[in-house]
Amino acid sequence: MSDGLFRLRGIRAGYGATTVLRGVDLTVPPRSVVALLGANGAGKTTLLRAASGVIGLSAGRRTFDGEDLTTATPHQLARRGICHVPEGRGVFGSLTVRENIRLQATKGSESEAFDRAVSAFPRLGERMNQLARTMSGGEQQMLALARAYIQRPRVVLLDEVSMGLAPRIVDEIFEFLRRLAAEGASLLIVEQYVQRALEVADAVYLLNKGQVSFAGEPSELDGEDLFTSYVGGS
């Protein structure tokens, strides 16, 4: 079966003896943006980590395109096109933009990778020889997204991509995310700006103390659901 769906079913995961996620069901259809919202500590970052295999699952299943990937390693998941852009961006600060991109390219496809990175964010083309740590936060985020993009990802897990960035840069980044989805990727985004997330999302999940308290279209979400989720009601 090849349905392009990324599915998490009954996910339980946490850190050591601490269980954070308590039976989470979530589906990301192809060509769509799914926003994951919830209060601080609700488990959003933990869910992205569990989805990308950075932390193990103590129960539940992960499938993509009809294939069971529950026990796959992060490396195996990455090879299937499941790509995690963590909070804090994950670029190599002491390397140039060019080197950061080259590291992500497969042998022989470096020039295609550069073209793809620049097509995502043209300003990266002007900064190829700059050390990544000397770029602005927005430019570093663009580089992190471009590094994901050159892998031709099928599922992209994005943690707080707009954190600390100017509204104009956030616009540019969200425009790129829509393009990524339109090209066929499935996107799961954790986003602190609820309004932005609701504008871009096709579906929204609210996480409350490690459980899904709402799943549906942004238009179905009422203020009370949101309030309850953010104040951590029962």
In the bound state with ligand ATP, the residue whose beta carbon lies nearer, of 51 and 132, is 51
When the beta carbons of 16 and 108 are compared against ligand ATP, the nearer one is 16
Q: Please identify, using beta-carbon distances, which residue of 40 and 219 lies nearer to ligand ATP.
A: 40
> What b/e string do you get for 146-182 counting C-beta neighbours within 10 Å, with b at 16 or more?
bbbbbbebbbbbbbbbbbebeeebbebbbebbeebbe
Quote the CA–CA distance of 227 and 38 in Å, as a whole number: 10
Find out whether 24 and 2 touch, Cβ atoms under 8 Å. Answer: no
Q: What is the DSSP letter of 55?
A: S
At its nearest, how many Å lie between ligand ATP and the CB of residue 57?
Answer: 14
Structural contact between residues 33 and 218, judged by C-beta atoms closer than 8 angstroms: no
Measured from the CB atom, the residue of 88 and 125 that comes closer to ligand ATP is 88
Please identify, using beta-carbon distances, which residue of 47 and 132 lies nearer to ligand ATP: 47
Supply the minimum distance, in Å, between the C-beta of residue 10 and ligand ATP.
Answer: 18
Least CB distance from residue 13 to ligand ATP, whole Å?
10
Closer Cβ to ligand ATP, 38 or 138, answer by number = 38
CA 209 to mean position of chain CA atoms = 20
From the CB of 160, what's the least distance to ligand ATP, in Å? 7
Taking alpha carbons only, the member of 203, 62, 198, 82 closest to residue 148 is 82
Q: Residue 205 Cβ, how far from ligand ATP at the closest point, in Å?
A: 12
Q: Which residue shows structure tokens 């500590």?
A: 41
User: SS3 for 144-205, per residue?
Assistant: HHHHHHCCCCCEEEEECCCCCCCHHHHHHHHHHHHHHHHCCCEEEEECCCHHHHHHHCCEEE
Q: Could you tell me if residue 160 is left (phi over 0), alpha (psi between -120 and 50 degrees) or otherwise beta?
A: left
Smaller CB separation from ligand ATP, 20 or 203: 20
Residues at the contact surface with ligand ATP, assessed by CB under 6 A = 15, 18, 20, 38, 40-46
To ligand ATP, the closest distance from the beta carbon of 38 in angstroms equals 5
CB of 15 to ligand ATP, least distance (A): 3
